[in-house]
């Protein structure tokens, strides 16, 4: 039995009792809970072995595996409850504890394996290795095998982001962790929706038998790909063959990360931010649930909106937000005007920045920081973005508190570069305090800060006359930060 399962089995009764009544331990003697926990651990160990849960490979977690875990947790909770309410037990155990115990065991055992599964890695860490986004047409065994093969390849590789299949029984399901979003006729809508999230699909692979698909649906697919400049290929033609990219093309997609260590202050700050973000996710759970319910009622599923943006060193990252816009198309595939997609609740969430609460998760996993340049879509990245790419992107930053939506893209880039060159605890504290003011009162343009940042950028680029001694110090500091940036 894995040590993590032992910890979960031991902690589940306590979490269950706290979920039912947080003040229970203050009113009752802990002897009943200790006995219940001891029996619960023994029952969990026995049931996990009985249902073969330790033999489950976490990397390849499947629906059948989850069902086995659910049965093992139910049996363990039932055995423990039978002991708790038998004549041999002591009084003081609530009647609802076995059911809550079952929920905690199930959530713990499944989560422990989910976070180690290939499916979770595919959702959480695709930015490490992907060089091209791919759409597969045809939920076949060949497609499933191809997806698994891609996950085993080292270095830059393709990432299958979605699948299409004309079989209604396959739609709404997933193949090797990749969702089947609909039939071939929805190709245009799917490409548009993913582009909205910043995920641009560059290749469509047809996984059906090599019949060259002469029906009208595939002719429309070919026309759609031709219109968007997307390569359309048959998977059978290239399966188990060398990739059609030259070494030079692959090298262009690789992002070179600097091995230099982060500056001490920024490194310590980001470590503390990750700890604080994890704690805030727990503390703000009621607020997260409330906002999620509002989004579900107002916009519908999915609740969380994600975009692929540019992170540190130019690596793509996933940024999460609560959804504030309806889908770009309705149920019939008809496009919805942009001015009608934002609802009142969505506008309120944006105004109060509550839609950005899921980014605490991005901070906790280390791809974002609390303070830093905002992560941009690839199409919005300025041409001269080397400096801003040396810093970990943040939820709030110098550009957000000195203008936000009231400044141009050039001014934002200049403000972000100024912050990177002058990062310090005092400036970070100022950003945090003024972020609160901006959230409550709205964006305000600080003309002095904007002009200062533009002058700093102009001096860096050599577009103005001799640089003053103060600017020399700033330039030196910027060079040091580029070498030891976080």
Q: Higher confidence at residue 57 or residue 448?
A: 448
For residue 178, the SS3 value is strand
Half-sphere exposure of 386 (CA within 13 A, CB side): 11
* Top-confidence residue, 93 or 192: 192
- Contact criterion met (CB below 8 Å) for 278 and 364: yes
Question: Is 200 or 254 the better-scoring residue by pLDDT?
Answer: 200
Rounded to 5 degrees, φ, ψ at 305 are -105, 135
Of 15-24, 39-48, 213-222, 357-366, which range is least confident? Answer: 213-222
Taking only the tens place, the pLDDT of each residue in 393-411 is 998 889 888 988 888 888 8
pLDDT of 464 higher than 60: no
How does pLDDT run across 275-298, given as a tens digit for each residue? 988 888 888 888 889 988 988 888
Residue 130: closest CA among 154, 163, 164, 162: 154
Structure confidence by residue, pLDDT tens digits, 137-151: 988 888 888 888 887
- Distance between CA atoms of residues 257 and 296, nearest Å: 39
Where residue 254 falls among pLDDT bands split at 50, 70, 90?
A: very low
Residues whose CB is less than 8 angstroms from the CB of residue 352 and which lie 6 or more positions away in sequence, other chains included: 439
Question: What's the rounded mean pLDDT across residues 43-70?
Answer: 81
Average pLDDT over residues 418-440: 88
The residues spanned by each domain of the chain are 3-116, 126-253, 264-483
* pLDDT of residue 310 exceeding 70: yes
The pLDDT value recorded for residue 456 is: 86
Query: Which pLDDT score, from 0 to 100, does residue 111 have?
Result: 85
57 vs 469 pLDDT, higher one: 57
Q: Mean pLDDT across the stretch 248-272?
A: 56
Best-predicted range by mean pLDDT (125-129, 170-174, 281-285): 281-285
Give the chain's largest Cα–Cα span.
Answer: 91
Percent of all residues in the chain with a pLDDT value above 70, rounded to a whole number? 78
Q: Which residue has the higher pLDDT, 219 or 4?
A: 4
Mean pLDDT, all residues of the chain: 77
Residue range 461-474: average pLDDT?
43
Q: Express as a percent the part of the chain with pLDDT over 90.
A: 6
Pairs from 333-340 (Cβ < 8 Å, separation ≥ 24)? 333/185, 333/186, 333/189
**Which H or E run includes 289?**
helix 285-298
pLDDT of res. 333:
65
Q: What is the mean pLDDT of residues 178-197?
A: 84
Which one is predicted more confidently, 220 or 254?
A: 220
Q: Return the CATH architecture of domain 126-253.
A: 3-Layer(aba) Sandwich (3.40)
| 77, β-bridge pairs | none
Four-CA torsion 432, 435, 441, 445, nearest 10 degrees: 120
pLDDT digits (tens, 9 = 90+) for 65-120: 888 899 999 999 998 888 877 765 556 667 778 888 899 999 888 888 877 765 55
Name the pLDDT band for 244 (thresholds 50, 70, 90).
Answer: very low
Annotate 380-449 with three-state secondary structure. HCCCCCCCHHHCCCEEECHHHHCCHHHCCHHHHHHHHHHHHHHCCHHHHHHHHHHHHHHHHHCCCCCHHH
Given this model, what pLDDT does residue 74 score? Answer: 92
Predicted local distance difference test score (pLDDT) of residue 243: 44
Mean pLDDT over 330-334 rounds to 67
Q: What is the pLDDT of residue 436?
A: 87
């Amino acid at each position: 039995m894995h040590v993590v399962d032992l910890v979960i089995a031991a902690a589940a009764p306590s979490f269950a009792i706290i979920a039912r009544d947080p003040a229970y331990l203050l009113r009752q003697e802990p002897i009943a809970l200790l006995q219940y926990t001891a029996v619960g651990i023994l029952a969990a160990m026995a049931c996990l072995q009985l249902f073969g849960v330790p033999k489950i490979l976490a990397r390849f977690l499947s629906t059948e595996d989850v069902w086995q875990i659910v049965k093992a947790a139910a049996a363990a909770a039932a055995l423990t409850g039978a002991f708790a309410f038998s004549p041999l037990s002591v009084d003081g155990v609530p009647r609802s504890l076995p059911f809550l115990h079952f929920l905690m065991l199930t959530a713990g055992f499944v989560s422990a394996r989910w976070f180690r599964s290939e499916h979770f890695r595919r959702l959480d860490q695709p930015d490490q290795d992907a060089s091209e986004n791919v759409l597969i047409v045809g939920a076949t065994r060949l497609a499933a095998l191809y997806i698994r093969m891609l996950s085993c390849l080292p270095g830059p590789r393709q990432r299958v982001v979605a699948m299409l299949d004309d079989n209604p029984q396959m739609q709404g399901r997933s193949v090797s962790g990749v969702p089947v979003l609909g039939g071939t006729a929805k190709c245009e809508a799917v490409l548009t929706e993913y582009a909205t999230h910043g995920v641009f699909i560059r290749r469509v692979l047809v996984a059906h038998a090599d019949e060259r698909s002469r029906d009208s649906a595939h002719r429309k697919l070919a026309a759609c790909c031709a219109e968007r400049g997307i390569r359309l290929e048959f998977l059978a033609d290239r399966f188990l063959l060398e990739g059609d990219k030259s070494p030079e093309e692959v090298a262009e997609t690789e992002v070179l990360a600097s091995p230099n260590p982060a500056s001490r202050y920024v490194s310590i700050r980001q470590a503390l931010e990750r700890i604080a973000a994890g704690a805030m996710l727990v503390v703000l759970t009621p607020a997260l649930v409330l906002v999620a319910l509002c989004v579900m009622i107002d916009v519908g599923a999915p609740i969380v909106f994600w975009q692929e943006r540019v992170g540190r060193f130019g690596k793509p990252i996933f940024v999460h937000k609560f959804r504030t816009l309806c889908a770009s198309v309705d149920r019939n595939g008809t496009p919805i005007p942009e001015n009608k997609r934002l609802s009142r609740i969505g506008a309120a969430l944006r105004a109060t920045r509550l839609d950005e609460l899921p980014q605490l998760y991005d901070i906790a996993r280390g791809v974002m920081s609390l303070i830093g340049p905002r992560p941009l879509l690839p199409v919005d990245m300025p041409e001269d973005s080397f400096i801003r790419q040396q810093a970990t992107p943040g939820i709030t930053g110098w550009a957000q508190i000195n203008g936000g939506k009231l400044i141009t893209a050039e001014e934002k880039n200049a403000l972000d570069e100024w912050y990177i060159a002058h990062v310090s605890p005092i400036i970070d504290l100022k950003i945090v305090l003024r972020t609160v003011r901006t959230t409550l009162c709205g964006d305000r343009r600080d003309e002095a800060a904007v002009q200062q940042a533009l002058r700093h950028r102009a001096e860096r680029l050599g577009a103005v006359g001799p640089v003053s001694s103060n600017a020399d110090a700033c330039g030196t500091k910027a060079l040091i930060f580029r070498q030891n940036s976080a």
